[in-house]
């Protein structure tokens, strides 16, 4: 039992990091649709670099740079050139996926460095919780940190309030003196760097090694998680852990019901659609009115300015 | 303290929105900026508040030339603006709306900010529940919140751009009180409006702007005629209706029952003659809209019959009505009448009943140019519908009416239009009627109803409450009838 939970938490780490990154980007009003491509290309790069250098950390840095660079292209083309974010994101996805397959071909099957386990002294001795949460490695601890930091940033800081403003109504934020387009650019790059780190977490930690199917459509799932989570970091995280749990469950049930073993691995996807239907239902959307203190957590509305280009005049 | 605007220029493409504007305003003054829609008031104010940057010109506050390259600069210099549409963040709380964009530490101490909100709002005499969502505030309350925020940030100059749009009469009185108080406290208050009476009521001095230029400056009071003349560049006589002999009955409604949403219209009988103008009066939702929509073929009567020129249209579709010579202009010009993102040329192509597969764009552009000329639309063949002002959108809609129309249906034909555009709309409609077209229009403006109708049908709670000849009634009686009472 402990081991199962421990592996759910560990396996969900890349998804958590990627969806926190995308949450930040989208909260500022930009959609980085290239997640699937970014993750694959950064996973491949991380592995290749770490393989050459012989050190996992360098791989992470390289992956963050790849993710940030792709995000910067999206940010520049949508903010600077006023191109359609969706179109650019989609093209970049396809490009990055192909690039990853092509450049990564020679690394398939190689063994590279990995992130070492790092149980936290004392904390990991706590019964059950210690084993589940604190007998992990740095990547997993980093995923915890992204959740807490994103939440704190959005709801407890001035820049965090401003980011919500530029995503919600850019003209209004601009009228208050917030530099909308500059911030949007940098939050998109920051989100992209986190997506890159998520890619590295796959090839250097969770799955080890590089092959094309390594990331299991994680990028698309992260995009869906942001929607399911109503752009709230805690709910996004909850969704990511639930998705991870379903995957582990499906995997374990394969032995129990061998007849349906083909179906189980895809079960989380239709369930995810049901979950989306649920959070967009009338009943759920009224919850926020009933518990005003939890309004942010229970709301499912996208930032109203999401995907909109802000032009001063 | 004084504010000096010196030689401001700003253009949008070919439009010179500010064309060399200079104004000087003294401290403690409530200064009106008056001009018709599209005169360039908002543009000038947005330049003052750093939202737009001017092509050239200077803004001088207290002798210092300001560098206004962003709203942040303007706020730092003490210039704050309430935009035409209050720029609040609807899903956020009052408190977060207040705090957003404020300078301070990275960590947001909401307890501290709440204290500030309470302090500043009580000084101004406002009351807020900090945890309420901005969405649930009235326009008036949103304005109060913006005023509070700008005062907290240290505004010395406050700009109000058309602040009375969409607020109730009580809220307007309250707003005017606040504005006077702010001016008494030594602020410079700029009150932007296209409504003469408001400037007369409120302001100490006035600048009239027309086509991006200052055309008149004065201390109030000034005779209203002078201001109107300056605003429009000419003396303006609103033309009444000429007696036109009525023709044969065109439209016949017999025992019509209609149901739409909460409106329920029962047993309606009405005959409209060719060349007749019938005004529909009543509170919103009393049945006028349902009647118009039924005549247009957008709402099928539950029972009864509808005939146009002896042909039954009771069960006919919208297209059937169009083919029979009915044309409907709904109130939502941009929601129901025009298509956002589509140019004037494309609208006219859509409206023509040309059914060839390929569009002759060259010819279409020619047509557009002629219509723009004919209807004096301010725009080019490639202007999008949403870029036109309300008056010009209505002109475009009028230009799209086919030549052969037996019955014209209009819902609030002049709502939100400036005086000149409104008069223009009616000149066109009356010309149609002189050609024998029947006109049915709904309006909330009693003057409009009395001035242009032959007959006025008053609706109350889903029934025709009274029918009057326009010449035999007056505003007072209509007021009673609309409220469901006979004159006492
Ligand atoms: N962002 C913009 N882009 C293009 N044209 C604009 C823009 N803002 C205003 N205009 C044009 O400038 C003129 C002045 O507009 P505005 O300042 O809004 O007038 P007012 O506030 O007096 O009604 C109008 O012709 C308007 O169409
Ligand atoms: Mg304006």
pLDDT tens over chain A, length 313 residues:
788 899 899 989 999 999 999 999 999 999 999 999 999 999 999 999 999 998 999 999 999 999 999 999 999 999 999 999 999 999 999 999 999 999 988 888 888 888 888 888 888 888 888 888 998 999 999 999 999 999 999 999 999 999 999 999 999 999 999 999 999 999 999 999 999 999 999 999 888 888 888 877 889 999 999 999 999 999 999 999 998 888 888 877 777 777 766 676 677 778 888 888 888 888 887 887 788 778 888 888 899 999 989 988 7
Does ligand 1 lie within 6 Å of residue B18's CB atom? Answer: no
Burial bucket for residue B268 (CB in 10 Å: 0-12, 13-18, 19+): buried
Give how far B380 is from chain A: nearest CA, Å. 19
Note whether B101 contacts A312, CB cutoff 8 Å. no
Ligand 1 proximity of A313 Cβ (cutoff 6 Å): yes
Helices (H), B161-279: 169-184, 196-202, 224-232
B40 Cα–ligand 2 center, Å: 7
B37 lines ligand 1 (CB under 6 A): yes
- Contacting residues of B for A175, CB less than 8 Å apart: 49, 51, 71, 81, 83, 87
CA distance B234 to B215: 12
Of A291, A71, A296, A309, nearest to A161 by C-alpha is A296
Q: Separation of B37 CA from ligand 1 center, angstroms?
A: 9
A152 in contact with B, Cβ within 8 Å? no
Q: Is A156 on the interface with B (CB under 8 A)?
A: yes
Distance (Å, whole) CA A173 – CA B257: 50
Identity of the residue in A156, A172, A313 whose CB atom sits nearest the CB atom of B107: A156
* pTM of the predicted model as reported, rounded to 2 decimal places: 0.77
- Dist CA B299 CA B293 (whole Å): 6
Nearest Cβ partner for A156 among B92, B102, B108? B108
**From the CB of B12, is ligand 1 less than 6 Å away?**
yes
Residue A34 vs residues A85, A104, A224: alpha-carbon distances, Å: 10, 19, 13
Nearest-CA residue for ligand 1 atom 2 is: A313
Distance in angstroms (rounded) separating the CA atoms of residues A126 and A27: 36
Nearest ligand to residue B161 Cα: 2
Does the CB atom of residue B17 touch ligand 1 within 6 A?
yes
Contact yes or no for B45/B96 (Cβ under 8 A): no
What integer pLDDT is reported at residue A114 of this predicted model? 84
Q: Is the CB of B34 under 6 A from ligand 1?
A: no
State yes or no: pLDDT of B242 exceeds 70: no
Query: Between residues A193 and B290, which one has the greater pLDDT?
Result: A193
* pLDDT at residue B199 tops 70: yes
Instruction: Please report the sign of the dihedral spanned by the C-alpha atoms of residue A277, residue A283, residue A284, residue A288.
Output: positive
Considering only CB atoms, A162 lies closest to which of B81, B88, B101, namely B101
Topology alike, domains B2-232 and B249-482 = yes
Work out the number of other CB atoms within 10 angstroms of the CB of residue B486.
9
Q: For the segment B362-392, what is each residue's pLDDT rounded down to a tens digit?
A: 888 888 888 888 888 888 888 888 888 888 8
* B221's tokens: 């009071």
- Local structure of B315: helix, strand or coil: coil
CATH 3.40.50.300 fits B249-482, yes or no: yes
| Per-range mean pLDDT, top range of A18-22, B297-301, B340-344, B381-385 | A18-22
Residues of B in contact with A176 (CB under 8 A): 71, 75, 87, 100-101
State the ligand closest to the CA atom of B43: 1
B9 beta partners:
B19, B56
Chain A residues within 8 A of B99 when measuring between CB atoms: 158, 161
How many other CB atoms sit within 10 Å of the CB of residue B447? 10
Asked whether the beta carbons of residue B87 and residue A162 sit closer than 8 angstroms, the reply is no
Is the Cβ of A311 closer than 8 Å to some Cβ of chain B? no
pLDDT band per the 50, 70, 90 thresholds, residue B273:
very high
DSSP A176: T
The minimum-distance atom of ligand 1 relative to the CA of B162 is 21
Could you tell me which of B151, B102, B110 has the C-alpha nearest to residue B131?
A: B110
- With H, G, I as helix, E, B as strand and everything else as coil, classify residue A116: coil
Per-residue pLDDT, A286: 80
Q: Are A197 and A64 in contact (CB under 8 A)?
A: yes
Domains of chain A as residue ranges with CATH: 2-298 (1.10.3470)
Q: Do A158 and B108 touch (CB under 8 A)?
A: yes
Helix (H, G, I), strand (E, B) or coil at B212: coil
Domain-wise residue ranges, chain B: 2-232, 249-482
Is the predicted pLDDT of residue B126 greater than 90, yes or no? yes
SS3 content of chain A, % helix, strand, coil (to 5): 75, 0, 25
Return the ligand number nearest the Cα of B15: 1
Q: How far is the CA of B232 from the centre of ligand 2 (A)?
A: 16
As a whole number of angstroms, the distance between CA B398 and CA B347 comes to 12
Contacts of A158 in chain B (CB under 8 A): 99, 102, 104-108
- Pocket probe for ligand 1: among B11, B19, B38, B420, the residue whose CB has the most ligand atoms within 8 Å is B38
Instruction: Give the pLDDT band (50/70/90) at residue B243.
Output: low
Find out whether the beta carbon of B163 lies less than 6 Å from any atom of ligand 1: no
Respond yes or no on whether the N-terminal peptide bond of residue B221 is cis (omega within 30° of 0).
yes
Q: Which of A148-157, B274-283, B452-461 has the highest mean pLDDT?
A: A148-157
To probe the interface with B, which of A160, A165, A170, A176 has the most B CB atoms within 10 Å? A176
Which ligand does the CA of B418 lie closest to? 1
* String of DSSP letters for B410-444: EESTTTT--HHHHHHHHHHHHHHHHTT-EEEEE-S
Q: What is the ipTM of this complex?
A: 0.90
Please tell me the least confidently modeled range out of A102-106, B208-212, B240-244.
Answer: B240-244
Burial of B485 (0-12, 13-18, 19+ CB in 10 A): exposed
Across the interface, whether the CB atoms of B101 and A173 are under 8 A apart is answered yes
pLDDT per position as a tens digit, B250-268 = 999 999 888 877 678 888 8
Judged by CB atoms closer than 8 Å, whether chains meet at B88 and A172 is answered as yes
> CATH code for B2-232?
3.40.50.300
């Amino acid at each position: 039992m402990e081991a199962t939970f421990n592996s759910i938490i560990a396996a969900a780490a890349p998804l958590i990091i990627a969806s926190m990154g995308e949450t930040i980007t989208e909260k500022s009003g930009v959609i980085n649709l290239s997640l699937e491509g970014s993750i694959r290309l950064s996973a491949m790069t991380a592995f290749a670099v770490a393989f050459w250098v012989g050190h996992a950390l360098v791989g992470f840095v390289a992956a963050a740079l790849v993710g940030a660079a792709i995000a910067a292209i999206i940010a520049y083309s949508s903010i600077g050139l006023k191109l359609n974010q969706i179109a650019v994101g989609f093209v970049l996805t396809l490009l990055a996926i192909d690039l990853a397959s092509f450049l990564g071909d020679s690394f398939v099957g190689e063994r590279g460095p990995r992130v070492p386990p790092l149980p936290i002294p004392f904390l990991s001795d706590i019964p059950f919780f210690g084993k589940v949460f604190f007998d992990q490695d740095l990547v997993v601890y980093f995923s915890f940190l992204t959740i807490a930091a994103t939440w704190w940033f959005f709801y407890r800081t001035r820049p965090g309030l401003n980011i919500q403003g530029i995503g919600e109504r850019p003209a209004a934020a601009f009228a208050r003196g917030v530099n909308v387009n500059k911030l949007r650019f940098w939050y998109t790059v920051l989100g992209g760097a986190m997506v890159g780190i998520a890619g590295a977490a796959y090839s250097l930690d969770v799955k080890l090694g590089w092959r094309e199917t390594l990331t299991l459509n994680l990028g698309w799932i992260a995009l869906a998680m942001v929607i399911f989570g109503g752009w709230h970091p805690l709910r996004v995280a909850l969704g990511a852990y639930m998705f991870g749990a379903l995957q582990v469950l499906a995997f374990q049930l394969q032995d129990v019901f061998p007849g349906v073993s083909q179906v189980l691995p895809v079960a989380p996807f239709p369930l995810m659609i049901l979950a989306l239907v649920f959070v967009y239902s009338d009943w759920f959307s009224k919850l926020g009115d009933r518990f005003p203190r939890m309004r942010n957590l229970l709301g499912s509305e996208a930032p109203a300015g999401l995907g909109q280009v802000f032009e001063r005049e | 303290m004084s504010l000096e605007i010196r030689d401001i220029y700003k253009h949008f493409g070919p439009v010179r929105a500010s064309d060399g504007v200079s104004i000087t305003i003294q401290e403690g003054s409530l200064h009106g900026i008056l001009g018709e829609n599209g005169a360039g008031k908002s543009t000038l104010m947005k330049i003052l508040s750093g939202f737009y940057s001017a092509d050239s010109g200077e803004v001088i506050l207290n002798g210092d030339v300001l560098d206004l390259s962003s709203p942040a600069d303007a706020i730092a210099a003490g210039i704050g603006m309430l935009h035409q549409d209050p720029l609040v963040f609807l899903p956020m709380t009052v408190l977060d709306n207040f705090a957003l964009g404020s300078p301070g530490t990275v960590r947001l101490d909401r307890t501290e900010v709440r204290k500030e909100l309470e302090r500043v709002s009580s000084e101004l005499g406002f009351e807020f529940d900090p945890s309420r969502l901005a969405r649930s505030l009235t326009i008036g309350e949103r304005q109060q919140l913006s005023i509070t925020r700008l005062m907290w940030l240290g505004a010395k100059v406050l700009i109000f751009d058309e602040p009375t749009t969409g607020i109730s009469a009580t809220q307007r009185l309250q707003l005017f009180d606040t504005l006077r108080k702010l001016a008494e406290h030594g602020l410079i208050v700029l009150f932007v409006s296209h409504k003469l009476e408001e400037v007369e009521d409120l302001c100490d001095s006035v600048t009239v702007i027309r086509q991006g230029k200052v055309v008149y400056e004065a201390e109030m009071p000034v005779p209203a005629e002078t201001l109107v003349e300056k605003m429009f560049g000419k003396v303006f006589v609103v033309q009444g209706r000429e007696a036109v002999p009525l023709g044969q009955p065109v439209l016949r409604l017999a025992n019509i029952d209609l149901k739409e949403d909460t409106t329920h219209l029962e047993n309606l009988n009405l005959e409209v003659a060719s060349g007749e103008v019938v005004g529909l009066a009543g509170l919103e939702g009393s049945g006028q809209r349902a009647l118009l929509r039924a005549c247009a073929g957008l709402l099928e009567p539950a029972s009864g019959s509808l005939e146009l020129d002896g042909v039954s249209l009771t069960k006919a579709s919208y297209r059937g009505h169009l083919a029979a010579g009915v044309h409907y202009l709904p109130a939502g010009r941009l929601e129901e009448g025009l298509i956002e993102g589509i140019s004037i040329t494309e609208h006219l192509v859509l409206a023509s009943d040309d059914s060839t597969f390929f569009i002759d764009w060259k010819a279409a552009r020619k047509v557009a140019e002629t219509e723009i000329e004919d209807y004096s639309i301010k725009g080019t063949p490639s202007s999008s519908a949403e870029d036109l002002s309300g008056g010009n959108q209505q002109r475009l809609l009028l230009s799209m009416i086919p030549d052969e129309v037996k019955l014209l249906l209009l819902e609030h034909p002049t709502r939100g239009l400036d005086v000149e555009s409104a008069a223009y709309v009616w000149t066109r409609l009356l010309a149609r009627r002189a050609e024998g077209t029947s006109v049915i229009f709904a309006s909330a403006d009693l003057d409009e109803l009395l001035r242009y109708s032959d007959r006025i049908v008053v609706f109350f709670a889903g029934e025709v409450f009274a029918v009057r000849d326009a010449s035999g009634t007056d505003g007072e009686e209509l007021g009673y009838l609309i409220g469901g009472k006979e004159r006492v």
